[in-house]
A and B are shown apart, each in its own frame.
Chain A
Amino acid sequence: MFDLSSLKHVLPTKIYSSISNNLDPQKLREIRLRAEKQVCVSYGQKNIAYLTANGISDRADKALTVSADDIKRAVVSSAEHSVYAYNDDINKGFITLDSGARIGVCGECVFEDGKIKAVKNYSSVNIRIPHEIRGCASGIMPVIVENNCRIMLISAPGGGKTTMLRDIARQLSELTPRNILIVDERSEIACTVGGVQKHDVGINTDVISGSEKAYAFECAIRSMRPDVIITDEIFGKSDIETIREAVGCGISVIASAHSSNPETFIMRPFVRQLVEDKLFERYIFLSSDFFSDRVEAMLDRDLNLI
């Protein structure tokens, strides 16, 4: 269960007070702060609602606003008042809090020799609230087991892929005992703090967090002997190469990717390679509607609708 007080030092006082007094943290999915603009939240079934002093509203004119200083304070506080220690994360666009909340950061990027050196003049932050929904993957567990755990979950951003992966890890780890390894690039799936996972990802689960996929997969395959590797947000050719190596070593991979439906998914450049190499047996599209049946569509390994 998410503890809202973990955001107390990040949010401006008026925003925190409004949320803590009027909203249920368990229904809160995102808080968006933009410099000199109205504060928005994703709450319950509402994808965008404006935050007022008395709760949420559809009217932007009554919404609370934040200043550029508030945004800077939010970023600095998220980074434990140590931006230098979180510089690599900020350059990648996010900071993960101990509570598992992920703070997406926008601002002006400073480049040197073709590499990003810093982000300055922060303009907005998006605070994503993690939710642990035990049993949310129960409906697709038979499909996962039947297909030897070679599954890709797909949904639009914020569609609940990470929550689903967390529950898949827990269920696979405990109900069909296997060695599960989570490659948690952004510390979002397991939220490991001080070596301890804040979310329940199962008793037979190891976690490598904060590492790029290629390095983590290589280390894991050589030393941890996983039966299944679970990882988030596949993006680009290098990730496909990494997964191909793992599958070639006889390890099943469950991954997630962004897309809103099969038509747009097929347009993504790396998908053709996935299909040619038959790296996944099933592509499961999740609905963004948390309150309905989560599986919107399922494709076989050749991308035929099932």
Chain B
Amino acid sequence: MIDKMFLTVCLTAVGTIVGFVIGHRLKLRKQYFDSLDGLLARFESTLAFSHDTVPTVLGQYRTDSGLLNSHIKFCLLEMKGEKGDKFANGYLSKSESDFVRSVIMSLGTYNTAAEKNAVATNRMKLKEYCAAADDKYAKLGKPSIKLGFLFGLLLSVLCW
């Protein structure tokens, strides 16, 4: 009986932790895309007013997303012709990661009018990623701890 109780506690704890990790990753993804959109919005206002350079805008941008910070750092180095560490995918898929890299590296490659169009187009595409991340977080992220707990409990019952 003690063995069964111990197994139940362990499996529900593991399920809860897994649920928490999944939920946290989905939350970070959402935060990542929101922050990237914030960066593009900031860049758009620079184009309209101060005409700060891309390295200045990227260097001054502050975000809580550690992955976006590392991506910005990588791109800043690449813009200077230096090679940084690998462009880490983190919790992004390969296609999302490629998209983000191309968006950041394309900043500042056109004149003002064309740059505004390019940023607007990229923000439209980014909105799709933001919406998908939001949706996934709402559907899976928030209830993931409960689901993980229940899944662990179910598994332990099956193991009895």
Listed in ascending order, the chain A residues whose CB lies under 8 Å from chain B are 8-10, 72, 76-77, 79-85, 87, 90, 117-118
Q: Does the CB pair B81–A80 fall under 8 Å?
A: no
B108 cross-chain contacts in A, Cβ below 8 A:
76, 79-85
Listed from nearest, the 7 A-B pairs whose CB atoms lie closest are: A9-B81, A82-B53, A82-B108, A84-B112, A81-B108, A80-B53, A118-B111
B37 cross-chain contacts in A, Cβ below 8 A:
none
- In the complex, whether B40 has a CB less than 8 A from a CB of chain A is no
| Closest chain B residue, CB of each to CB of A119 | B111
Task: List, sorted by A's number, 27 A–B pairs whose CB atoms are closer than 8 Å.
Answer: A9-B81, A10-B81, A72-B109, A76-B108, A76-B109, A80-B53, A80-B54, A80-B55, A80-B108, A81-B53, A81-B79, A81-B109, A82-B51, A82-B53, A82-B108, A83-B108, A83-B109, A83-B115, A84-B108, A85-B51, A85-B52, A87-B111, A87-B112, A90-B111, A117-B111, A118-B113, A118-B114
Please tell me which one of the listed residues A8, A10, A80, A83 contacts residue B110 in the complex, with CB atoms under 8 A apart: A83
A10 cross-chain contacts in B, Cβ below 8 A:
81
CA distance A117 to B113 in the complex (A): 10
CA distance A26 to B79 in the complex (A): 26
A118 cross-chain contacts in B, Cβ below 8 A:
111, 113-114
Q: Does the CB pair A84–B51 fall under 8 Å?
A: yes
- Count, chain B residues at interface, CB 8 A: 19
A117 cross-chain contacts in B, Cβ below 8 A:
111, 113
A8 cross-chain contacts in B, Cβ below 8 A:
81
- In the complex, whether B80 has a CB less than 8 A from a CB of chain A is yes
Known: A77-B81, A81-B54. 16 other contacts (CB 8 A): A9-B80, A9-B82, A77-B79, A79-B108, A80-B108, A81-B53, A81-B79, A81-B108, A83-B110, A83-B111, A84-B47, A85-B52, A85-B108, A90-B111, A117-B113, A118-B111
CA distance A83 to B82 in the complex (A): 20
- In the complex, whether B13 has a CB less than 8 A from a CB of chain A is no
How does the 8 Å CB contact mask read for B103-132 relative to A, with 1 for contact and 0 for none? 000011111111100000000000000000
A83 cross-chain contacts in B, Cβ below 8 A:
108-111, 115
CA distance A82 to B112 in the complex (A): 9
How far, in Å, is B57 (CB) from chain A's closest CB?
Answer: 9
Which of A77, A83, A117 has its CB near the most chain B CB atoms (within 10 A)?
Answer: A83
Which of A9, A84, A85 has its CB near the most chain B CB atoms (within 10 A)?
Answer: A84
How does the 8 Å CB contact mask read for B47-86 relative to A, with 1 for contact and 0 for none? 1000111110000000000000000000000011110000
B113 cross-chain contacts in A, Cβ below 8 A:
117-118
A72 cross-chain contacts in B, Cβ below 8 A:
109
CA distance A77 to B108 in the complex (A): 10
How far, in Å, is B125 (CB) from chain A's closest CB?
Answer: 20
